[in-house]
């Protein structure tokens, strides 16, 4: 669907379909990520898990400054 992005921009129904699929994909990905984090919490290794996530580095640095 993304190969036809211009077509999607010109067709509201197709845009809504792409938007819905995008939200579904985000939900699925987030659910899998939360499940992985939950397992690491149960194992006692949540800190290691969070430090492995490069996208969280700025947020973790900010939290560390406040504590």
Is 80 exceeded by the pLDDT of residue 1? no
Q: Is the pLDDT of residue 5 over 80?
A: no
Cα(18)–Cα(5) distance, integer angstroms: 9
Check pLDDT > 60 for residue 65: yes
pLDDT in tens, 27-61: 999 999 999 999 999 999 988 888 888 888 898 88
Contact 50, 56 (CB under 8 A): yes
pTM, entire model: 0.60
């Amino acid at each position: 669907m993304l190969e036809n992005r211009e077509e999607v921009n010109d067709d509201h129904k197709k845009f809504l379909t792409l938007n819905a699929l995008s939200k579904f994909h985000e939900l699925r990905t987030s659910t899998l990520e939360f499940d992985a984090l939950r397992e690491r919490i149960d194992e006692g290794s949540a800190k290691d898990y969070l430090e492995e996530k490069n996208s969280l580095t700025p947020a973790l640095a900010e939290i560390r400054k406040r504590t």
